[in-house]
């Protein structure tokens, strides 16, 4: 099936590489190019293809097309998704072949998720829509993850964690057992979340504490 990437930056190129790895393990995606509102049509994106246009062009697509939104900003991903009302567009999960699922039969996943290299997802896990699970992320047992979250490389979630929407867990951050994260929380790189965070605040340090800019 034809697929295009929304976002012609560095992360878009990484998703193009992810599609190549999926195809090398039996996938059948045909990457036709990129959509981007900040670059002129025809702009080359390394060796992976050219910019096909922006949102206006995408909304006029009249044949089935899969789209992966490769923007490393969960709020921007949400805005883009809410702007796409073309019924010809679908949003597949792109999952690196290296993913280790402890028990695939108990993992539930929505649409539009991107899972990168060498991640591990344990048993009885529910993942919503349009989440980025970046390299070497560990998701423990009985976790529930909502929509439009970003889990940066090396983030580790212990068991029994609930995460809402629009949260960002930084590089090598850790969330301890049983934590409940609501919406709009940012956990800084190398931070360890040990207490309940408040929505729409940033937490830094070990243990992580609310940081006021």
Give the pLDDT band of residue 166 (cuts 50, 70, 90). Answer: very high
| Shared-domain flag, residues 70 and 119 | no
CATH of the domain at 117: 2.160.10.10
Reading the block at residue 160, the tokens are: 């029994």
What is the model's pLDDT at position 177? 97
Residue 204 near residue 197, CB atoms below 8 Å: no
Which residues fall within 8 angstroms of residue 87, CB to CB, at 6 or more apart? none
| Shared-domain flag, residues 149 and 100 | yes
- Find the mean pLDDT for residues 91-111: 98
| Shared-domain flag, residues 186 and 109 | yes
Residue carrying the six token digits 């883009």: 80
- Find the mean pLDDT for residues 2-22: 98
Number of structural domains in the chain:
2
Is the model's pTM score more than 0.85?
A: yes
| Shared-domain flag, residues 116 and 201 | yes
| Shared-domain flag, residues 74 and 135 | no
What is the model's pLDDT at position 198? 97
| Shared-domain flag, residues 141 and 76 | no
- Find the mean pLDDT for residues 182-203: 97
| Shared-domain flag, residues 41 and 9 | yes
The string of pLDDT tens digits covering residues 55-98 is 999 999 999 999 999 999 999 999 999 999 999 999 999 999 99
| Shared-domain flag, residues 87 and 110 | no
- Look at residue 122 and tell me whether its pLDDT is greater than 80: yes
Give the residue among 179, 181, 178 at the shortest CA–CA distance from 200.
181
What is the model's pLDDT at position 74? 92
- Going 103 to 105 to 107 to 110, the CA torsion angle's sign is positive
What domain range includes position 103?
Answer: 95-205
- Going 29 to 64 to 16 to 114, the CA torsion angle's sign is negative
The string of pLDDT tens digits covering residues 30-58 is 999 999 999 999 999 999 999 999 999 99
| Shared-domain flag, residues 74 and 136 | no
Reading the block at residue 202, the tokens are: 């940033």
| Shared-domain flag, residues 29 and 84 | yes
Number of Cβ atoms within 10 Å of the Cβ of 160 = 16
Exposure of 82 by Cβ count < 10 A (0-12 exposed, 13-18 middle, 19+ buried)? exposed
Percent of all residues in the chain with a pLDDT value above 90, rounded to a whole number: 99
Q: Choose one of 92, 108, 123: the last residue of a domain.
A: 92
| Shared-domain flag, residues 200 and 143 | yes
Torsion of CA 150, 156, 160, 162, to 10 degrees: -20
Which residues fall within 8 angstroms of residue 164, CB to CB, at 6 or more apart? 146, 181, 182, 183, 199
Q: Is residue 213 part of a domain?
A: no
- Look at residue 213 and tell me whether its pLDDT is greater than 90: no
What is the model's pLDDT at position 212? 85
DSSP 162: E
| Shared-domain flag, residues 190 and 106 | yes
Q: Is residue 111 part of a domain?
A: yes
The string of pLDDT tens digits covering residues 129-150 is 999 999 999 999 999 999 999 9
């Amino acid at each position: 099936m034809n697929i295009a990437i929304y976002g012609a930056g560095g992360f878009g190129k990484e998703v193009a590489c992810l599609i190549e790895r999926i195809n090398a393990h039996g996938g059948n995606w045909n990457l036709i190019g990129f959509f981007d509102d900040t670059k002129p049509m025809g702009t080359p994106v390394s060796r992976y293809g050219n910019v096909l246009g922006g949102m206006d062009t995408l909304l006029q697509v009249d044949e089935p097309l899969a789209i992966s939104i490769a923007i490393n900003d969960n709020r921007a991903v949400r805005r883009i998704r809410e702007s796409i009302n073309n019924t010809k567009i679908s949003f597949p999960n792109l999952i690196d072949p290296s993913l280790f699922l402890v028990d695939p039969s108990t993992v539930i996943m929505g649409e539009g998720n991107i899972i990168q290299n060498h991640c591990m997802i344990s048993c009885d896990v529910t993942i919503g829509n349009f989440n980025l699970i970046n390299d070497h992320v560990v998701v423990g047992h009985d976790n529930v993850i909502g929509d439009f979250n970003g889990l940066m490389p090396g983030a580790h979630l212990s068991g029994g964690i609930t995460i809402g929407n629009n949260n960002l867990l930084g590089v090598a951050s850790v969330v301890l057992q049983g934590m409940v994260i609501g919406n709009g929380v940012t956990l800084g790189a190398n931070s360890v979340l040990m207490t309940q965070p408040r929505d729409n605040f940033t937490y830094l340090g070990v243990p992580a504490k609310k940081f006021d800019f």
